Amino acid sequence: MSRGWTWLSLRAAGSLALVAVFSVASAAHAQLEDPEWAEGDDHPAQLEHDAEAAAAAAEAEVQRLEAEAARLQAEAEAAEAEVARMEAAEAAEAARAADARRATAVGPAPDAQDDCVAAEEPTSERRIRLPLLELGAIGALLYQHLTYRDDLYGFMRPYSLNSAKEFGGYVAAYPLARADMGALGGLGVELRYTHMLTFDSVRADGSTFPTRAQELVTGFRYRFDQDALLNRGIDASVGVGGGRQIFDIGSAIALPNVDNRAAVPSRHYRFLRLDAATRVTLDLGFFVTVHIGARLVTDAGDVDTAAWFPRGRRWGLESGLHLGYVLPQNIELSVGFEAQRYMYRLRPQPGDPNIVGGLLDRYVHAQVRAGWRY
């Protein structure tokens, strides 16, 4: 009996223990589900909800700001494109206006063209107007030297002339320059002539030999009527033609037992020529002219004869440089030089009267010119 009661007591005690365990578990579950917080504080779930709402609002604001920045960038690009379009339109309008002015300056008849040129502002302060006519007088001093190369026997005598006086003149005309003939307007004709005052050359023994010299050049000249040149004050041209240059030494007075022949050959050059010339207008009324050319010698006079150098070959060069000043009424004064140089390859053979390898014939004219351009 006591043993049964004891078993019942143990069973009751176990039941009570199980009830106690379940009670504690229920209390702990309630504590996890429904924690306590101070009076007046927000519920944690509400705080979490508010944080999520704030994050969503911030993200929406960022997206709005990005959209606004993209809109402003698009407006800036559109403004830049509009500015570029307006600049291109202004450049095209300026180009059309320049073309119209150029066409107006070239297109009218001669009288109307003169009025247009007078009314318009000059393209450049140095811009020049090509003349119809150029003419002038020349005063000069002539320096001449004749030398030999490879004179086998030393028989040849060099010749030198200093400060011989000469005079002359020049003229160039361009009759089509104002006739609206297009490219033909640059075509003209030219002529230049100089003549040395005759004097006597003196030999070492006292014999005298009458000496004369002259030069004549004529031909056609073509000027380049281009705005790119004229706006810079440049008058460029090329010439083609021909001419002659004489340096003649005569015989001395005949005396018994005296050789009255000069020991220097006379030169009577005939040639064709090609040259290029440029006149550049400078500041303060000054200008400079320069030219250079070549001469194809077709005849040289006594030098080519059997008595001197029958097998020779020769060619020539010419050049000139002048500095001048323009006075009122288009009158000009200038100083400078003109030079000619004839070179020979004589090619002697055994039996020739003179065995010489080469010859150099040089002329320098120190000139003063007074001219007029119309």
Residue 99 included in any domain: yes
**149, 96: one domain:** no
Q: What's the pLDDT tens digit per position in 134-148?
A: 999 999 999 999 999
Q: 325 lies in a domain?
A: yes
**Best CA proximity match to 295, nearest among 374, 187, 200, 216:** 216
Q: What is the DSSP letter of 125?
A: T
Question: pLDDT per residue over 16-31, tens digit each?
Answer: 544 444 444 444 444 4
pLDDT at 154: 82
**203-254 confidence digits (pLDDT tens):** 877 788 899 999 999 999 999 989 999 999 999 999 999 999 999 998 888 7
> Three-state secondary structure along 61-96?
HHHHHHHHHHHHHHHHHHHHHHHHHHHHHHHHHHHH
At 121 the pLDDT is 45
User: Is residue 32 one of the residues assigned to a domain?
Assistant: no
For residues 28 and 201, give the distance between their C-alpha atoms in angstroms, rounded to a whole number. Answer: 149
Q: Which residues pair with 38 in a beta bridge?
A: none
Helices (H) and strands (E) in the chain, counts: 4, 11
pLDDT, residue 205, reads: 77
Give the per-residue pLDDT at 290: 98
Residues 220 and 346 in one domain: yes
Kindly indicate the confidence band of residue 105, based on its pLDDT and cuts at 50, 70 and 90. Answer: low
Q: Are residues 248 and 267 in the same domain?
A: yes
The pLDDT assigned to 52 comes to 77
Contact 351, 324 (CB under 8 A): no
Matching residue, tokens 């007074």: 370
* CATH number of the domain within which 176 lies: 2.40.128.100
Rounded CA Rg of the chain: 54
Please count the structural domains in the chain: 2
Pairing verdict, β 133-151 and 159-173? antiparallel
Residue 26 lies in a domain: no
pLDDT digits (tens, 9 = 90+) for 290-315: 999 999 999 999 998 988 999 889 99
Residue 5 belongs to some domain of the structure: no
273 pLDDT more than 70: yes
- pLDDT value at residue 365: 98
The string over 232-262, giving b where at least 16 C-beta atoms fall within 10 Å of a residue's C-beta and e elsewhere, is ebbbbbbbebebbbbbbbbebeeeeeeeeeb
Any domain includes 37? no
Domain C-terminal end among 59, 93, 121: 121
Looking at per-residue pLDDT, the higher value among 159 and 112 belongs to: 159
Write down the pLDDT at residue 269.
96
* Residue 101 placed within a domain: yes
Lowest-pLDDT range, 146-155, 188-197, 277-286, 353-362?
146-155
pTM for this structure? 0.65
Give mean pLDDT, residues 184-208. 90
Structural domain containing residue 75: 42-121
Closest CA to 337 of 360, 361, 317, 363: 363
Q: What is the pLDDT of residue 27?
A: 43
Pair (365, 272) in one structural domain: yes
Query: 45 or 71: whose pLDDT is higher?
Result: 71
